[in-house]
């Protein structure tokens, strides 16, 4: 679910049903609340996204629930601790180990049993240009 599109609690079902229709299915195995950060999390949380998600999980409409994250570490920890998530997705690469959730967030999620999916492993391709010599050497080996 593209959380930045959500403005009312009714939007949860509206967008979800649209997604089911487009996918031509009656359930989604891995469902992601996409683009969470502190402000967006507070908005969807206060609109009841977790109550809504629990209902969908109980109905078998969603098998596993996760979120993608774009903000600072304290907000990440707050979101991780708010629910028994299956997975999370964070921006992570060899140059951004302290950016957003970073190393600490990666380990924080893993200690709580969340699968961690990495996005931007080469920073949109920027890290594949003008590589440091050490990285070039690793890639040649």
Please check whether residue 81 lies inside any domain of the structure. no
Please check whether residue 62 lies inside any domain of the structure. yes
Host domain of residue 55 = 27-34+41-66
Please check whether residue 45 lies inside any domain of the structure. yes
pLDDT for res 16: 98
pLDDT for res 123: 80
pLDDT for res 73: 97
> How many structural domains comprise the chain?
1
pLDDT for res 140: 83
| pLDDT values of the chain reduced to their tens digit, one per residue, 141 residues | 999 999 999 999 999 999 999 999 999 999 999 999 999 999 999 999 999 999 999 999 999 999 999 999 999 999 999 999 999 999 998 788 899 999 999 999 999 999 999 998 888 777 778 877 887 888 787
pLDDT for res 6: 97
Please check whether residue 127 lies inside any domain of the structure. no
CA angle 12, 117, 17 (to 5 degrees): 20
Please check whether residue 111 lies inside any domain of the structure. no
Please check whether residue 53 lies inside any domain of the structure. yes
pLDDT for res 138: 83
Q: H/E/C letters for each residue in 47-115?
A: CCHHHHHHHHHHHCCEEEEEEEECCCHHHHHHHHHHCCCCEEEEECCCCCCCCCCHHHHHHHHHHCCCE
Please check whether residue 112 lies inside any domain of the structure. no
């Amino acid at each position: 679910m593209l959380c930045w599109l959500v403005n009312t609690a009714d939007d949860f079902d509206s967008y979800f049903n649209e997604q089911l229709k487009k996918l031509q299915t009656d359930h989604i195995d891995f469902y992601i609340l996409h683009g969470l950060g502190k402000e967006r999390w507070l908005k969807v949380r206060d609109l009841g996204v977790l109550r809504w998600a629990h209902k969908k999980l109980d109905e078998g409409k969603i098998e596993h629930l996760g979120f993608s994250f774009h903000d600072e570490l304290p907000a990440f920890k707050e979101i991780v601790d708010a629910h028994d998530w299956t997975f999370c997705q964070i921006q992570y690469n060899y140059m951004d180990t302290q950016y957003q959730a970073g190393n600490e967030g990666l380990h924080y999620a893993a200690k709580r049993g969340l699968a961690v999916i990495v996005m931007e492993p080469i920073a949109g391709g920027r890290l594949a240009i003008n590589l440091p010599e050490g990285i070039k050497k690793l890639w040649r080996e």
